[in-house]
Structures are given as C-alpha cells and as structure tokens.
C-alpha cells in the first residue's frame, strides 16, 4: 500500500499552496493556508476534512465512509486497497483542495491563480448533488473567477 500512498503524496504536494507535514497519528497531512484538508496513512487510509453537508453527500453517494475514528464528525475516510483506488482518492483530495481554495478566494486570497475551479469541478465528474452543493456554496467565488 505504501507505493500507492507515496504516489498520492507526491501528486498532492505539487498542488500550489499545499504544504505537507507529519500527521500526529502517523502518515502525512496536507495543509493549505494553515488548515488541514486531509491526511494519508501508510496503511491506505485517506482522511478528509470537509463540512457536514459535503460529508453527508459523500456518504449518501457511497464515495467515502464515515471517519474511522470520529464517525459523527465532518471528516470522512476513503480506503486505498489497491492502485485502482488511487484515482478516487485523488478526486476526493482535489475536492477538499478546491473547497479550501474557493473559501480563500471568497476572502480575497488566491493561492493558485492558474486554477479554474469551474474546469476542475467538471473534470472531477462529481455526482450532480455534490457538484450542485459546491457550486451553490461558492457561487460568489465561481462568478468572480469567471469575470476575471
């Protein structure tokens, strides 16, 4: 499992504004502008920090599981059991990254001016309910980006 997790770490750590650090319970965490967006454990566990609304949609759509330690929190867990699971893990991490970028853009901070969130959201191919939730939540940031 370590090779798959190493590939995930290598990819996510290249995204603008992402810093990596050792996670307090083992593994590697991903931090954007001082806030953790998620972390990975060598055993193949990917934990993501989102909102309860996003968490609920991910669980309903079967895209993630409740967090393995804090099942009633806004965190979710995705298990990488083979190389075939890496794309879905990356998709969820990219969602967490975009969520953070859009929240920062709302406050006038742009860590990644080259990222077009609308294009990224289309590439992620999220289920309609999840895509709509992201677009509804960050309509102001998405509209502002489109006019730049």
Q: pLDDT over 70 for what percent of the chain?
A: 95
Closest CA to 37 of 26, 46, 27, 45: 46
How is domain 3-141 classified at the architecture level of CATH? Alpha-Beta Complex (3.90)
pTM of the model: 0.93
**Mean pLDDT, range 100-108, rounded to an integer:** 91
The pLDDT of residue 142? 78
Report the alpha-carbon distance of residue 30 to residue 93 in Å, rounded.
9
pLDDT digits (tens, 9 = 90+) for 57-98: 999 999 999 999 999 999 999 999 999 999 999 999 999 999
CA distances from 99 to 26, 27, 83, 96, 135 (A): 24, 22, 25, 5, 10
Q: Is the pLDDT of residue 23 over 80?
A: yes
Grade residue 26 by pLDDT with cuts at 50, 70 and 90: confident
The pLDDT of residue 141? 76
Domain ranges of the chain: 3-141
Q: In whole numbers, what is the pLDDT of the chain averaged over residues?
A: 92
């Amino acid at each position: 499992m370590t090779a798959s997790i190493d590939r995930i770490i290598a990819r996510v750590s290249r995204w603008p504004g992402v810093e990596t650090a050792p996670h307090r319970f083992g593994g590697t965490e991903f931090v954007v502008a001082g806030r953790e967006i998620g972390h990975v454990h060598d055993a193949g566990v990917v934990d993501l920090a989102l909102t309860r609304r996003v968490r609920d949609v991910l669980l309903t759509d079967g895209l993630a599981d409740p967090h393995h330690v804090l099942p009633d929190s806004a965190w979710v867990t995705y298990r990488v059991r083979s190389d075939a699971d890496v794309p879905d893990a990356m998709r969820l991490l990219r969602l967490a990254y975009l969520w953070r970028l859009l929240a920062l853009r709302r406050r006038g901070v742009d860590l990644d001016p080259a990222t077009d969130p609308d294009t990224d959201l289309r590439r992620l191919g999220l289920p309609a309910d999840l895509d709509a939730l992201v677009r509804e939540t960050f309509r102001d940031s998405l509209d502002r980006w489109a006019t730049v």
